[in-house]
Amino acid sequence: MRSATITRQTAETDISVTINLDGTGSYDNQTGIGFFDHMLDQLARHSLIDMTIRAKGDLHIDDHHTVEDTGIALGQALAQALGDKRGIVRYGSCLLPMDDALVRTALDLSARPFLIWNVDLPTAKIGTFDTELVREFFTAFATQGGITLHVDMLHGFNSHHIAEATFKSVARALRQAVETDPRKADAIPSTKGAL
C-alpha cells in the first residue's frame, strides 16, 4: 500500500495529513476553512487518493498560513507515498470543464518542482476565501511534492467554478500519473534510472 502520514507543527499551524495513493477517493478534510475543505475534497475524490487532513491554523490573522502549510504537508505526503516511484505512469494531463470554466493541467512527477500558473480568478474573494490562495496552495504542493505542474485556464468568468476546475483538473491528472503502469510495474520511469 502506497500511503503516508505527515504531521507538521509551526507557530502558525498544526497540520496532519494522511493519504493513500491506492485508495478510492474517500476523504475527511477539516481545515476550518469551508471553501478550502470543499477544494481538498475535490482533489481526493477525483484523484482517487484517500485523504484525511486536520489543520488548525491562525485563522484569526487570515487563511494564508493554513492554506500554504496544508499544501506543504500534502506535497510531502505525496512524495513520501510515492517512494522511489517504481512502476508509476509518471505523467498526467486533463482538460476539465466546469460550466463556464475550462482548465488544462499537465504534470510530471519529476522531482523537479516547477509551477506554471495561467489562471485568472476574476474576483478577490470566493465567500470569505481569498482567491489568491489557490495559487499559494499549488505552489506549496508542487514544490514539496516534486511536481512539474502546468495549469492553464482557457475560459471562465466565475471564480468558484474556475478554482474548483483547477482542483479537479489537477486531481484527474494526478490520478493518471500515480497509477501503476501494468507494463512496467517494476521499473522507475526514467532513462536515468531515478526520479
C-alpha pair distances (Å), 142 with each of 60, 106, 135: 27, 12, 10
In whole angstroms, the minimum distance from the beta carbon of 46 to Mn ion comes to 12
Closer CB to Mn ion, 50 or 164, in the complex: 164
Could you identify the residue written with the cell 507538521? 8
In whole angstroms, the minimum distance from the beta carbon of 17 to Mn ion comes to 22
101 contacts 21 by C-beta, under 8 angstroms? no
In whole angstroms, the minimum distance from the beta carbon of 164 to Mn ion comes to 5
Give the footprint of Mn ion on this chain (CB under 5 A).
164
What is the rounded distance in angstroms from the CA atom of residue 177 to the CA atom of residue 171? Answer: 10
In whole angstroms, the minimum distance from the beta carbon of 149 to Mn ion comes to 22
Alpha helices in the chain (DSSP H): 34-47, 64-82, 132-145, 159-178
71 contacts 33 by C-beta, under 8 angstroms? no
Closer CB to Mn ion, 108 or 164, in the complex: 164
Closer CB to Mn ion, 42 or 66, in the complex: 42
What is the rounded distance in angstroms from the CA atom of residue 30 to the CA atom of residue 51? Answer: 11
Closer CB to Mn ion, 69 or 164, in the complex: 164
- The residue with its CB nearest to Mn ion is 164
- CA torsion sign for 68, 96, 117, 89 is positive
Closer CB to Mn ion, 6 or 137, in the complex: 137
Closer CB to Mn ion, 34 or 83, in the complex: 34
In whole angstroms, the minimum distance from the beta carbon of 98 to Mn ion comes to 8
In whole angstroms, the minimum distance from the beta carbon of 160 to Mn ion comes to 6
Find residue 14's DSSP bridge partners: 9, 56
What is the rounded distance in angstroms from the CA atom of residue 93 to the CA atom of residue 165? Answer: 13
